[in-house]
Amino acid sequence: MATWGEFESDAPELALRVRRLFDAGRHKTIATLRADGSPRISGIECAFVDGELQFGSMTGSRKGADLQADPRFALHGPTVHPVDGSESEWPGEAKVSGRARFVGPLPGPADADGDADTEADAPAPEGDLFVADVDSVVLTSLDPSATKLVIESWSPAGGLRRVERT
């Protein structure tokens, strides 16, 4: 397992492209394991903070209970569909898998200088904060001629790999 920062250090170009895909939309999809071992898909938001990939769950959510019981997860970035006729410009899809490490309660809302947010007197969210211990990162895209599927992957043990499929 590695932190997001360790992945960034080891494969900076891939990390930048994956992060851009994750930042392209607010909502991601996370897969967790239910108590009976069956898969669960949930919507989620995440953030890159100080070299860590962080995400949370609301108090009492099944997603949070899943992660507390079995920390394995797969996180899929927002889906951006290729534009007909411009397939070679498609940025691809990104996935991160690993184990979610519980770090404590979600922090309250704050503005850029760290002071409590006073706008609209928003209550602090209640829930759990998790940090991703990264096992693998995959970016799937098309080659420049849009005739081959390009799968770039990284893991702490295997490093960076690239496979092209027709």
Domain assignment present for 145:
no
pLDDT given at position 80: 85
Number of domains in the chain: 1
How many angstroms separate the most distant Cα atoms in the chain? Answer: 54
pLDDT given at position 12: 98
Domain assignment present for 103:
yes
Domain assignment present for 163:
no
CATH number for position 47: 2.30.110.10
Report the distance separating Cα 62 and Cα 35, nearest Å: 10
Given a contact cutoff of 8 angstroms between Cβ atoms, the answer to whether 65 and 71 are in contact is no
Q: 69: helix, coil or strand?
A: helix
Average pLDDT over residues 21-28: 96
Domain that holds residue 114: 4-136
For 96-137, how does the pLDDT look when each residue is reduced to its tens digit (9 = 90+)?
A: 999 999 999 998 765 444 555 555 556 667 899 999 999 999
63 backbone dihedrals φ, ψ, rounded to 5°: -60, -45
Q: Which residues contact 130 (CB under 8 A, 6 or more apart)?
A: 54, 55, 56, 57, 67, 100, 101, 102, 103
For all residues of the chain together, what is the average pLDDT? 92
Domain assignment present for 155:
no
Domain assignment present for 36:
yes
pLDDT at residue 6 greater than cutoff 60: yes
Domain assignment present for 151:
no
